[in-house]
Structures are given as C-alpha cells and as structure tokens.
C-alpha cells in the first residue's frame, strides 16, 4: 500500500513547487452546494465576480458532451444547462486552471483541454451508474492537477508525459520519480490538502495508480467514495485515450476488471458505451 507522504517530503516539495492558495471563490461556491435556498442567480453572481473563471466555465459548458451541440454564451445559461451541483463540481478544477495561467506553456493549455474532456466523459458515465459521489466530476478534473504544477515547474516535463503515456499505471510514478524527483499524484495530493479538499478526495488522488487502490474491507486504503471516484475517472480516461483509432491505453488491461467490477458494468456493456462515446465525440468534434 502506498504510504501517505512524510512531513519531510511534503516540506521539501512545498519549497520547490508553487502551489496556489485556496481561492475565496471556491469557499463561496462549495458553501452553496448543499444550500436548499440556492438560486441560479446567486451562483451565477459568484462566478461572474471572477473573469478568468467565467471564461473557463463557458469553455467547459461548450465542450461537445456537456454542451450537446448548443452554443452557450452566458454564465447563467451554462448553470441552467449543467445544474447547480455539476457547476460546483466543475469549479474546483476550473479555479485551479485559472490560477495557473499567468505563463501558460502550450503543453499546459493542452493538458487542461484534455482534463476537461475527461471530466465531461466522467459526467456521462456517472449518468449510467447509481449512487455516485457528488465529487466524481470534480475529481475527474482535479485528479491529475499535479501534472499542471509539474508542467509549470519542470521545463522538460512535457517529454515525460510522452513516456508515461506508454507506461502501465503502476510505472507512471516510477518514471516521474526517476526524472524529476517526485510524482504527479504526490503533488496533486499536496494541492488537494492545501486547498482543504476532503481527505478521501486527497487520498484518492495520491493512490489513484496504486495496485491496491480498489481493495475493499476493513484495511482498504480508500473508502467507497474514493474508490468510486478513481474507478469512474480511470474508465473515462480509457475512453479519452482510445478516442483516436489505433491508439492504445497501456494500463487498461491490468485495471479493467477491478474498475468495471466496482462500476457494476460487464465488459460488453462497457465496450458498447465506449463505442457510443467515441461516436458522439467524433461527431461533435
């Protein structure tokens, strides 16, 4: 089982990596998620206070899967289309994106576009599954946020990403550790902790590629919500990775059975859904 990182490792990483502080707008929005009196107007007003967040939100709402071909031109229209909970779930990842755009290398912009597509695919998968955590879509956007931080910190990290695309899940961190002295899942865990995200959310980021992550029982490393967030996101990542005909997902075969078992989907059911998603994305693209 992957241990939680030590205090010394955390302090050393925090000295060398720039992790943006938790923004006030996130506190305001998370406070509204369980507010029975929340209105679209109130939610829209908070987002509209942050211009960069407005731009990111409109871009998200106009992705092929979320926008369903409609052209969304206003924040209130986006909220009406996506719903309050979906909007709040998107915000944590979008806020991180807006806080890292001062000097955006092309690889970082591409990373966020990919992350947004994976989050949209996750949302579509959640519609097929009963009892998914509210944070599933947020996790899909946030799960690889450590990559964004490392792209900003290490000029050659974009090359590392090419190597990890060809690696099995359990080797991704080993490649990163050898080349950069840390792993994106550890960095992402630090971001989640710095932003006071729920502990199960942060631990799921840290352990997402660990071979024990889907274990159940009293000694399980994650609770049910954590396992479900990891399973949904890994399945969505498979859809995204295989979107181009002939492109393979190097780690999927080793993870497929445990992920599909936890999602409660058969191979045939999942493959039919993957084909449908590929067709939908191809038409929309």
* Domain spans in the chain, listed from the N-terminal domain onward: 17-100, 106-284
To the question of domain 106-284 being in CATH 1.10.3210.10, the answer is yes
In angstroms, the CA 198 to CA 135 distance is 10
Given this model, what pLDDT does residue 9 score?
67
CA 223 to chain centre: 18
CA 3 to chain centre: 22
Q: Contact 121/285 with Cβ under 8 angstroms?
A: no
In angstroms, the CA 190 to CA 202 distance is 8
Q: Contact 278/117 with Cβ under 8 angstroms?
A: no
In angstroms, the CA 268 to CA 249 distance is 18
- What's this model's pTM, rounded to 2 decimal places? 0.84
Given this model, what pLDDT does residue 191 score?
87
Given this model, what pLDDT does residue 2 score?
45
What values do phi and psi take at 74, rounded to 5?
-140, 155
CA 166 to chain centre: 20
Residues of the chain with pLDDT under 70: 1-16, 33-34, 65-69, 85, 89, 100-104, 284-285
Given this model, what pLDDT does residue 1 score?
43
Given this model, what pLDDT does residue 239 score?
96
User: 13 Cβ partners below 8 Å, 6+ apart?
Assistant: 5, 182, 186, 187, 190
């Amino acid at each position: 089982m992957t241990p939680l990182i030590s205090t010394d490792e955390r302090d050393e990483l925090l000295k060398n990596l720039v992790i943006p502080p938790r923004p006030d707008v996130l506190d305001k929005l998370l406070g509204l998620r369980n507010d029975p009196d929340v209105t679209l107007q109130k939610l829209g007003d908070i987002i509209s206070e942050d211009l960069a967040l407005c731009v990111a939100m409109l871009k998200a709402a106009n992705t092929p899967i979320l926008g369903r071909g409609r052209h969304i031109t206003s924040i209130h229209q986006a909220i009406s289309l996506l719903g309050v909970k979906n909007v709040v779930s998107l915000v944590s990842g979008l806020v991180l994106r807006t806080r890292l755009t001062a000097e955006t290398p092309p690889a970082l912009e591409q990373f966020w576009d990919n992350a947004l597509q994976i989050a949209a695919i996750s949302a579509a998968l959640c519609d097929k599954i009963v009892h998914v955590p509210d944070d599933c879509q947020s996790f899909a956007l946030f799960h690889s946020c450590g990559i964004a931080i490392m792209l900003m910190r290490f000029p050659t990290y974009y090359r590392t990403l090419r190597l990890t695309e060809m690696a099995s899940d359990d080797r991704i961190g080993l490649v990163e550790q050898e080349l950069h002295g840390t792993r994106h899942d550890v960095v992402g865990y630090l971001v989640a902790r710095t932003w006071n995200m729920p502990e199960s959310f942060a631990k799921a980021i840290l352990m997402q590629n660990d071979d024990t992550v889907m274990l159940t029982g009293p000694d399980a490393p994650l609770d049910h919500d954590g396992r479900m967030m990891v399973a949904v996101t890994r399945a969505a990542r498979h859809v995204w990775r295989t979107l181009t005909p002939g492109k393979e997902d190097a780690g999927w075969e080793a993870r497929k059975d445990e992920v599909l078992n936890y999602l409660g989907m058969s191979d045939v059911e999942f493959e039919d859904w993957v084909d449908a998603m590929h067709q939908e994305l191809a038409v929309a693209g």
